[in-house]
């Protein structure tokens, strides 16, 4: 729509593509100026990140007083896949040291998205790791702890429809000593938010979609864990109800395959800005 009085063209793009435009401005003294630009309309964003498989089960995997945890899991046949693994590490009373977790799938090292201590105690913690584009089929997932032994709780979720260039973003953490654990992640429609919880006492319930939960040991600082998911929105709060104790929570946005760092700019806004310049 053209408004000659305001000097603007406006409208909603209906077809993706690129167009070359030239603006001509004439003032009351008949002086002129031109401005050439390229207007790009990106394809409409459709579909969403979807849960592929869960493993090893809704009860998670666990081991007491160990430095190693492993299980067999299956990747589905979907495209643009991402594997995520959440681990809760509960060090038994009296133990001390510098603890860290490394995870490998089919011998390939996974990338750490984040780690947060439970109640800031320095050794009990939650960690979230990921790996992009795994082939379908059965794989062995290996979690290794360095620094000592602990109660280890873990599980995995894989997703399809994930962006190959920017698979994850906006990793946020929360920690405390209370009956409510929460962390808020920035996200977008079509994305998926995934989390991991570690807590010193049993996990009661999730505020989002609970995918797996394992209550192993209430005597260690984080010997119990869970993971949940939530559909993407501008802001998503992940949370759990727990008895009052140490807790650590990591939330991460899994990015949809059509995500672009240069989102579509409505033609109305672009033309008005340049017309006023």
Query: pLDDT value at position 276?
Result: 39
CA distance 22 to 275: 11
Average pLDDT over residues 29-48: 72
* SS3 state at 271: helix
CA distance 23 to 36: 6
Q: Is 107 or 85 the better-scoring residue by pLDDT? A: 85
- Record the pTM: 0.77
pLDDT band at 136 (very low <50, low <70, confident <90, very high): confident
Say which DSSP state 272 is in.
H
Asked whether 229 and 194 are in contact (CB, 8 A), the reply is: yes
Angle, alpha carbons 163-166-168 (nearest 5°): 95
CA distance 142 to 195: 19
Lowest mean pLDDT among 147-151, 242-246, 261-265: 261-265
Query: pLDDT value at position 261?
Result: 47
* For the chain, percent of residues with pLDDT exceeding 90: 59
Tokens encoding 147: 């620094």
Give whichever of 75-84, 113-122, 204-213 has the largest mean pLDDT: 204-213
The predicted-structure confidence for 204-256, as pLDDT tens digits, reads as follows 999 999 999 999 998 888 899 999 999 999 999 999 999 888 999 999 999 99
Asked whether 29 and 139 are in contact (CB, 8 A), the reply is: no
123: which strand partners? none
């Amino acid at each position: 729509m053209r408004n000659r009085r305001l000097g603007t063209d406006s409208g909603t793009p209906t077809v993706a593509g690129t167009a070359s435009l030239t603006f001509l401005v004439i003032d009351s003294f008949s002086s002129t100026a031109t401005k050439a630009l390229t207007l790009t309309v990106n394809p409409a964003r459709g579909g969403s990140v979807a849960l592929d498989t869960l493993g090893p089960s809704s009860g998670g995997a666990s081991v007491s007083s160990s430095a190693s945890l492993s299980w067999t899991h299956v990747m589905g046949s979907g495209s643009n896949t991402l594997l995520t693994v959440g681990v809760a590490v509960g060090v038994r009373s009296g133990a001390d040291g510098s603890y860290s977790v490394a995870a490998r799938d089919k011998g390939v090292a996974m990338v750490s998205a984040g780690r947060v201590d439970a109640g800031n105690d320095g050794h009990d913690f939650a960690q979230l790791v990921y790996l992009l584009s795994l082939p379908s089929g059965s794989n062995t997932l290996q979690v290794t702890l360095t620094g000592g032994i602990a109660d280890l709780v873990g599980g995995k979720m894989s997703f399809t429809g994930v962006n190959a260039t920017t698979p994850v973003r906006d990793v946020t953490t929360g920690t405390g000593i209370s009956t409510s654990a929460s962390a808020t992640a920035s996200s977008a429609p079509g994305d998926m938010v995934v989390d991991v919880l570690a807590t010193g006492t049993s996990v009661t319930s999730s505020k989002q979609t609970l995918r797996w939960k394992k209550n192993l040991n209430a005597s260690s600082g984080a010997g119990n864990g869970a993971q949940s998911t939530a559909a993407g929105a501008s802001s998503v709060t992940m949370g759990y109800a727990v008895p009052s104790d140490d807790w650590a929570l990591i939330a991460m946005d899994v990015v949809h395959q059509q995500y672009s760092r240069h989102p579509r700019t409505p033609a109305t806004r672009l033309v008005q800005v340049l017309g006023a310049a």
